[in-house]
Amino acid sequence: MKTNFMSIFLLAFLVLLSCKEATTSESETETTETETTAAPDYASFDTQVNTIRALFKAHEDEDMDAIAGMISDSLVWSPPVFNDYEFYGKAEFLATLKDYQDNYENIKYTEGVVTKDSVVGGYFSGSVFPEATASSVPDVLRIYGTWTGTHTASQKNVGMKFYSLATFDEEGKIDSYSSYFDTASLIPKEE
């Protein structure tokens, strides 16, 4: 009786183990098939990141012609201040950047998210969560970093954490841009 019980127990254990292995193999196959059919477009992502880096460098260098060349004529821009979701175009975007350049010196951008132990990636696109909208396509570039500069009139240093979203047209120009930062960070603090 004891031998029959042990045999049945061993058989049940082997059946369960083989079912688990089959399930694991099926999951691995599904993941591989999904990854194969939706491979990330790293080349487009890298091109977009390089465009933003060039844009920010041109802003640091106060090169408005270079900036204008990277922006689509049909740009849709959402500024950092809440304005009841009124969108602006290329002219307003360029005028705002020129205003920053006229009122701040030594404008500098540092890419990345500052964490307790390090600075991590400043550019992200695509997603795996939530599953319903997961995408391997870099359709919206998420940009994280810090801007610093010196307020020209007061000669006081200012800085702000920065986040923005950008999309690009077929020519690789920025065709939509949304900025998120605390504009009060640009006001020099009284000492």
Mean local confidence (pLDDT), 166-184: 97
In a shared domain, residues 29 and 46: no
Instruction: Report the pLDDT value the prediction gives residue 54, as an integer from 0 to 100.
Output: 98
What gap in Å lies between CA 108 and CA 20, rounded to an integer?
55
Q: What is the pLDDT of residue 11?
A: 43
Q: What is the pLDDT of residue 190?
A: 79
Q: How many domains does the chain have?
A: 2
The reported pLDDT for the residue numbered 191 is: 67
What mean pLDDT comes out for the span 10-28? 44
Mean pLDDT of 19-33: 44
Where residue 122 sits, what CATH number does that domain have?
3.10.450.50
> Is residue 191 a part of any domain in this protein?
no
Whether 108 has a pLDDT exceeding 90, the answer reads: yes
Residue with tokens 């599904």: 30
* Per-residue pLDDT at 189: 86
Q: Is 62 left (phi over 0), alpha (psi -120 to 50) or beta?
A: left
In the predicted structure, residue 116 carries a pLDDT above the cut 80: yes
More confident site: 128 or 108: 108
Range of the domain at 12: 1-37
Residues 130 and 78 in one domain: yes
Pairwise CA distance, residues 63 & 68, whole Å: 9
Whole-angstrom distance, CA of residue 162 vs CA of residue 182:
8
Average pLDDT score over residue span 157-183: 97
6 and 92 belong to one structural domain: no
- Please give the single-letter amino acid code of residue 116: K
Mean pLDDT in residue range 73-93: 97
Tell me: do 22 and 56 sit in the same domain: no
Output the average pLDDT for the chain.
Answer: 86
pTM for the whole structure: 0.79
Is the predicted pLDDT of residue 14 greater than 60, yes or no?
Answer: no
52 pLDDT higher than 80: yes
Q: What is the arithmetic mean of pLDDT over 7-31?
A: 44
Task: Kindly state the helix (H) or strand (E) to which residue 188 belongs, with its residue range.
Answer: none
